[in-house]
Structure 1
Amino acid sequence: MNTSCTAVVKFSLEVITLPVSDVDRALRFYADQVGFTLDVDYSPNDAFRVVQLTPPGSGCSVQIGRGLTNAPAGSLRNVYLVVTDLQDARRRLLERGVEVGEIRHKVPIGTWDGAFAPGLDPARSDYASFAEFSDPDGNSWVLQERGYRNV
Protein backbone atom coordinates (compact mmCIF):
# COMPACT_ATOMS: atom_id res chain seq x y z
CA MET A 1 0.00 0.00 0.00
CA ASN A 2 1.45 3.37 -1.08
CA THR A 3 0.90 5.98 1.62
CA SER A 4 2.89 8.76 0.01
CA CYS A 5 1.08 11.98 -0.77
CA THR A 6 1.05 13.14 -4.37
CA ALA A 7 -0.05 16.72 -3.60
CA VAL A 8 2.41 19.45 -4.43
CA VAL A 9 3.83 21.26 -1.44
CA LYS A 10 3.66 25.02 -1.98
CA PHE A 11 6.37 27.23 -0.57
CA SER A 12 5.83 30.95 -0.17
CA LEU A 13 8.82 33.22 0.45
CA GLU A 14 7.40 35.97 2.63
CA VAL A 15 10.18 37.48 4.75
CA ILE A 16 13.90 38.08 4.38
CA THR A 17 15.87 39.17 7.44
CA LEU A 18 18.42 41.91 6.77
CA PRO A 19 21.32 42.15 9.20
CA VAL A 20 21.81 45.83 10.12
CA SER A 21 23.86 47.69 12.72
CA ASP A 22 21.46 50.59 13.35
CA VAL A 23 17.76 49.74 13.15
CA ASP A 24 16.52 53.35 13.05
CA ARG A 25 18.97 54.32 10.30
CA ALA A 26 17.95 51.26 8.25
CA LEU A 27 14.26 52.00 8.84
CA ARG A 28 14.70 55.56 7.54
CA PHE A 29 16.64 54.28 4.51
CA TYR A 30 14.12 51.62 3.50
CA ALA A 31 10.95 53.61 4.29
CA ASP A 32 11.97 57.17 3.41
CA GLN A 33 14.48 56.65 0.62
CA VAL A 34 13.67 53.33 -1.03
CA GLY A 35 9.92 53.67 -0.46
CA PHE A 36 9.11 50.41 1.33
CA THR A 37 5.90 50.41 3.40
CA LEU A 38 6.33 50.09 7.17
CA ASP A 39 4.17 47.15 8.33
CA VAL A 40 5.35 46.55 11.89
CA ASP A 41 7.65 48.20 14.42
CA TYR A 42 7.46 46.14 17.59
CA SER A 43 9.82 46.22 20.58
CA PRO A 44 8.62 44.62 23.81
CA ASN A 45 12.01 45.20 25.48
CA ASP A 46 15.48 46.63 24.84
CA ALA A 47 16.87 43.29 23.63
CA PHE A 48 14.30 42.63 20.90
CA ARG A 49 12.85 44.74 18.11
CA VAL A 50 11.31 43.67 14.82
CA VAL A 51 10.62 46.13 12.02
CA GLN A 52 8.93 44.73 8.94
CA LEU A 53 8.77 46.62 5.64
CA THR A 54 7.34 45.62 2.28
CA PRO A 55 8.42 46.83 -1.15
CA PRO A 56 5.48 48.28 -3.13
CA GLY A 57 3.73 45.48 -5.01
CA SER A 58 5.71 42.70 -3.35
CA GLY A 59 4.45 39.57 -1.61
CA CYS A 60 7.72 39.34 0.29
CA SER A 61 8.76 41.65 3.12
CA VAL A 62 12.04 42.39 4.84
CA GLN A 63 12.68 42.46 8.56
CA ILE A 64 15.31 44.42 10.42
CA GLY A 65 15.77 44.66 14.14
CA ARG A 66 17.53 43.50 17.28
CA GLY A 67 17.59 39.87 18.31
CA LEU A 68 16.55 38.60 14.88
CA THR A 69 19.79 37.26 13.42
CA ASN A 70 23.41 36.72 14.31
CA ALA A 71 24.54 37.39 10.73
CA PRO A 72 27.04 40.25 10.47
CA ALA A 73 25.53 43.61 9.53
CA GLY A 74 25.74 44.17 5.79
CA SER A 75 26.38 40.52 4.90
CA LEU A 76 23.29 39.92 2.75
CA ARG A 77 24.12 39.98 -0.96
CA ASN A 78 22.17 40.41 -4.18
CA VAL A 79 18.54 40.41 -3.16
CA TYR A 80 16.60 41.02 -6.38
CA LEU A 81 13.90 43.66 -6.73
CA VAL A 82 12.16 43.07 -10.05
CA VAL A 83 10.75 46.20 -11.71
CA THR A 84 8.81 46.82 -14.91
CA ASP A 85 10.78 49.94 -15.88
CA LEU A 86 14.39 49.94 -14.73
CA GLN A 87 15.15 53.46 -15.95
CA ASP A 88 12.20 54.88 -14.04
CA ALA A 89 12.91 52.87 -10.88
CA ARG A 90 16.57 53.96 -10.90
CA ARG A 91 15.63 57.61 -11.50
CA ARG A 92 13.13 57.59 -8.63
CA LEU A 93 15.63 56.05 -6.23
CA LEU A 94 18.30 58.56 -7.23
CA GLU A 95 15.82 61.39 -6.62
CA ARG A 96 15.26 60.00 -3.12
CA GLY A 97 18.99 60.01 -2.37
CA VAL A 98 19.76 56.33 -2.96
CA GLU A 99 23.10 55.72 -4.66
CA VAL A 100 22.24 53.40 -7.55
CA GLY A 101 24.85 52.03 -9.92
CA GLU A 102 24.70 52.48 -13.66
CA ILE A 103 22.36 50.30 -15.68
CA ARG A 104 23.97 47.34 -17.44
CA HIS A 105 22.69 44.47 -19.54
CA LYS A 106 23.70 40.91 -20.35
CA VAL A 107 25.73 40.27 -23.50
CA PRO A 108 25.32 38.26 -25.59
CA ILE A 109 21.70 37.56 -24.67
CA GLY A 110 21.25 34.23 -26.47
CA THR A 111 24.40 32.62 -25.09
CA TRP A 112 25.05 34.72 -21.99
CA ASP A 113 28.35 33.85 -20.34
CA GLY A 114 28.33 36.38 -17.49
CA ALA A 115 29.45 39.44 -19.48
CA PHE A 116 27.71 42.82 -19.36
CA ALA A 117 27.55 45.98 -21.46
CA PRO A 118 26.51 49.47 -20.32
CA GLY A 119 22.90 50.61 -20.60
CA LEU A 120 19.56 48.89 -21.01
CA ASP A 121 19.22 45.78 -23.11
CA PRO A 122 18.38 47.20 -26.59
CA ALA A 123 15.39 44.83 -26.92
CA ARG A 124 14.31 45.43 -23.29
CA SER A 125 14.28 41.64 -22.85
CA ASP A 126 13.00 40.30 -19.55
CA TYR A 127 15.69 39.59 -16.96
CA ALA A 128 18.43 41.19 -19.07
CA SER A 129 18.99 44.66 -17.52
CA PHE A 130 20.24 45.45 -14.02
CA ALA A 131 21.36 48.16 -11.60
CA GLU A 132 22.58 47.78 -8.02
CA PHE A 133 22.36 49.66 -4.75
CA SER A 134 23.28 48.98 -1.13
CA ASP A 135 21.82 50.00 2.20
CA PRO A 136 23.93 51.95 4.73
CA ASP A 137 25.37 48.69 6.12
CA GLY A 138 26.29 47.25 2.72
CA ASN A 139 23.46 44.76 2.20
CA SER A 140 23.25 44.69 -1.59
CA TRP A 141 20.23 44.80 -3.87
CA VAL A 142 19.86 44.18 -7.59
CA LEU A 143 17.17 45.92 -9.61
CA GLN A 144 16.19 43.72 -12.56
CA GLU A 145 13.80 44.62 -15.36
CA ARG A 146 10.96 42.30 -16.39
CA GLY A 147 7.77 43.01 -18.31
CA TYR A 148 8.68 46.41 -19.72
CA ARG A 149 6.34 46.00 -22.66
CA ASN A 150 3.56 44.48 -20.55
CA VAL A 151 2.92 47.63 -18.54
Structure 2
Amino acid sequence: MECRLEVVVVPVSDVEKAREFYVDKLGFRLDTDHQAGESFRVIQVTPPGSACSIVFGRGMGDGKPGSVKGTHLVVKDIVAAHAELEAAGVENSGPVHFAEGGVMTPGPHPEGADYGSFVFFADPDGNSWALQQIVSPAR
Protein backbone atom coordinates (compact mmCIF):
# COMPACT_ATOMS: atom_id res chain seq x y z
CA MET A 1 0.00 0.00 0.00
CA GLU A 2 1.40 3.36 -1.01
CA CYS A 3 0.32 6.27 1.13
CA ARG A 4 1.47 9.79 1.90
CA LEU A 5 1.28 11.72 5.14
CA GLU A 6 -0.28 15.03 4.14
CA VAL A 7 -1.96 16.44 7.26
CA VAL A 8 -1.08 16.49 10.95
CA VAL A 9 -3.79 17.69 13.35
CA VAL A 10 -2.43 19.86 16.16
CA PRO A 11 -4.84 20.57 19.04
CA VAL A 12 -4.75 24.15 20.28
CA SER A 13 -6.65 26.16 22.90
CA ASP A 14 -6.63 29.54 21.15
CA VAL A 15 -7.10 29.43 17.39
CA GLU A 16 -6.06 33.05 16.84
CA LYS A 17 -2.83 32.66 18.84
CA ALA A 18 -2.04 29.48 16.91
CA ARG A 19 -2.73 31.19 13.57
CA GLU A 20 -0.45 34.07 14.53
CA PHE A 21 2.30 31.67 15.63
CA TYR A 22 2.26 29.37 12.60
CA VAL A 23 1.50 31.95 9.90
CA ASP A 24 2.99 35.21 11.16
CA LYS A 25 5.95 33.95 13.21
CA LEU A 26 6.92 30.72 11.41
CA GLY A 27 5.89 31.87 7.95
CA PHE A 28 3.72 28.86 7.11
CA ARG A 29 1.40 29.36 4.12
CA LEU A 30 -2.26 29.83 5.07
CA ASP A 31 -4.14 27.29 2.94
CA THR A 32 -7.60 27.75 4.41
CA ASP A 33 -9.38 29.38 7.32
CA HIS A 34 -12.96 28.07 7.32
CA GLN A 35 -15.60 28.69 9.95
CA ALA A 36 -19.04 27.05 10.08
CA GLY A 37 -20.86 28.64 13.00
CA GLU A 38 -19.46 29.46 16.43
CA SER A 39 -18.42 25.91 17.34
CA PHE A 40 -16.40 24.90 14.26
CA ARG A 41 -13.35 26.48 12.64
CA VAL A 42 -10.53 24.81 10.76
CA ILE A 43 -7.25 26.38 9.71
CA GLN A 44 -4.81 24.56 7.48
CA VAL A 45 -1.24 25.81 7.09
CA THR A 46 1.75 24.38 5.24
CA PRO A 47 5.44 24.88 6.02
CA PRO A 48 7.35 26.32 3.04
CA GLY A 49 8.53 23.45 0.81
CA SER A 50 6.46 20.80 2.60
CA ALA A 51 3.94 18.35 1.14
CA CYS A 52 2.44 17.89 4.61
CA SER A 53 0.15 20.48 6.17
CA ILE A 54 -0.85 21.24 9.75
CA VAL A 55 -4.49 21.61 10.73
CA PHE A 56 -5.85 23.18 13.91
CA GLY A 57 -9.06 24.80 14.95
CA ARG A 58 -12.18 24.53 17.08
CA GLY A 59 -14.67 21.64 17.16
CA MET A 60 -12.25 19.22 15.51
CA GLY A 61 -12.18 16.31 17.93
CA ASP A 62 -10.99 15.69 21.42
CA GLY A 63 -7.23 16.17 21.25
CA LYS A 64 -5.77 17.95 24.27
CA PRO A 65 -3.98 21.22 23.45
CA GLY A 66 -0.23 20.75 23.85
CA SER A 67 -0.37 16.97 23.42
CA VAL A 68 1.52 16.77 20.11
CA LYS A 69 5.17 16.17 20.97
CA GLY A 70 8.34 15.86 18.93
CA THR A 71 7.06 16.35 15.40
CA HIS A 72 10.06 16.97 13.13
CA LEU A 73 10.38 19.57 10.40
CA VAL A 74 13.37 19.04 8.10
CA VAL A 75 15.67 21.90 7.11
CA LYS A 76 18.85 22.01 5.03
CA ASP A 77 20.67 24.53 7.24
CA ILE A 78 20.07 24.33 10.99
CA VAL A 79 22.04 27.52 11.72
CA ALA A 80 20.01 29.56 9.22
CA ALA A 81 16.74 28.03 10.48
CA HIS A 82 17.72 28.90 14.04
CA ALA A 83 18.43 32.50 12.98
CA GLU A 84 14.93 32.71 11.44
CA LEU A 85 13.32 31.48 14.67
CA GLU A 86 15.32 34.02 16.66
CA ALA A 87 14.36 36.85 14.27
CA ALA A 88 10.68 35.87 14.66
CA GLY A 89 10.97 35.86 18.45
CA VAL A 90 10.30 32.12 18.79
CA GLU A 91 11.82 30.71 22.00
CA ASN A 92 14.00 27.71 21.13
CA SER A 93 16.85 25.47 22.26
CA GLY A 94 19.39 26.79 19.79
CA PRO A 95 21.24 24.26 17.63
CA VAL A 96 22.11 21.05 19.48
CA HIS A 97 23.44 17.61 18.64
CA PHE A 98 23.62 14.35 20.54
CA ALA A 99 27.15 13.39 21.59
CA GLU A 100 28.42 10.01 22.76
CA GLY A 101 25.98 8.37 25.13
CA GLY A 102 23.05 10.41 23.81
CA VAL A 103 24.01 13.57 25.68
CA MET A 104 22.38 16.67 24.17
CA THR A 105 25.25 19.05 23.44
CA PRO A 106 25.09 22.71 22.36
CA GLY A 107 25.92 23.50 18.74
CA PRO A 108 25.29 21.76 15.44
CA HIS A 109 26.79 18.33 14.78
CA PRO A 110 30.58 18.87 14.44
CA GLU A 111 30.73 17.14 11.04
CA GLY A 112 27.40 18.53 9.85
CA ALA A 113 26.04 14.98 9.63
CA ASP A 114 22.58 14.53 8.21
CA TYR A 115 20.05 13.68 10.94
CA GLY A 116 22.52 15.01 13.53
CA SER A 117 21.58 18.63 14.31
CA PHE A 118 18.37 19.90 15.89
CA VAL A 119 16.58 22.97 17.21
CA PHE A 120 13.63 22.39 19.55
CA PHE A 121 10.71 24.78 20.10
CA ALA A 122 7.03 24.76 21.06
CA ASP A 123 3.88 26.57 20.03
CA PRO A 124 1.88 28.67 22.54
CA ASP A 125 0.05 25.53 23.82
CA GLY A 126 3.21 23.46 24.31
CA ASN A 127 2.94 21.30 21.18
CA SER A 128 6.62 20.60 20.64
CA TRP A 129 8.55 20.63 17.39
CA ALA A 130 12.05 19.78 16.28
CA LEU A 131 13.89 21.21 13.33
CA GLN A 132 16.28 18.54 12.02
CA GLN A 133 19.04 19.20 9.52
CA ILE A 134 19.05 16.84 6.54
CA VAL A 135 20.89 17.84 3.37
CA SER A 136 21.00 14.44 1.64
CA PRO A 137 18.11 12.20 2.76
CA ALA A 138 18.84 8.49 3.16
CA ARG A 139 15.81 7.60 1.03
TM-score scaled to structure 1, two decimals?
A: 0.86
Query: Is 1:87 aligned to residue 75 of structure 2?
Result: no
C-alpha deviation, 1:114, in angstroms? 2.6
Could you tell me which runs of 5 or more consecutive residues in structure 1 were left unpaired when the two chains were aligned. 1-8
Query: Is 1:121 aligned to residue 113 of structure 2?
Result: no
Among 121, 135, 138, which residue is 2:123 paired with? 135
C-alpha deviation, 1:107, in angstroms? 1.7
C-alpha deviation, 1:62, in angstroms? 0.3
Among 45, 53, 56, which residue is 2:48 paired with? 56
Identity %: 45
Equivalent residue letter for 1:134:
A
Measured in 2, the distance between the counterparts of 1:89 and 1:102 equals 10
Measured in 2, the distance between the counterparts of 1:114 and 1:145 equals 17
Measured in 2, the distance between the counterparts of 1:128 and 1:69 equals 35
Q: Deviations over 1:21-47 (max 9, x none)?
A: 000110011000011000000011111
Q: Deviations over 1:51-75 (max 9, x none)?
A: 0000000000000101112111111
Equivalent residue letter for 1:91:
A
Secondary structure of residue in 1 paired with 2:20? helix
Paired residues of 1:35 and 1:55 also in contact (CA < 8 A) = yes
Measured in 1, the distance between the counterparts of 2:96 and 2:23 equals 26
Among 16, 40, 52, which residue is 2:8 paired with? 16
Measured in 2, the distance between the counterparts of 1:27 and 1:69 equals 18
Secondary structure of residue in 1 paired with 2:34? strand
Measured in 2, the distance between the counterparts of 1:94 and 1:38 equals 21
Secondary structure of residue in 2 paired with 1:45? coil
Measured in 1, the distance between the counterparts of 2:95 and 2:88 equals 17
Higher gyration radius (CA): 1
TM-score scaled to structure 2, two decimals?
A: 0.94
Secondary structure of residue in 1 paired with 2:118? strand
Cα RMSD of the aligned pairs, angstroms, is 1.1
* Matched pairs, number: 136
- 4+ residue stretches of structure 1 with deviation over 4 A? none
C-alpha deviation, 1:143, in angstroms? 0.7
Secondary structure of residue in 2 paired with 1:39? strand
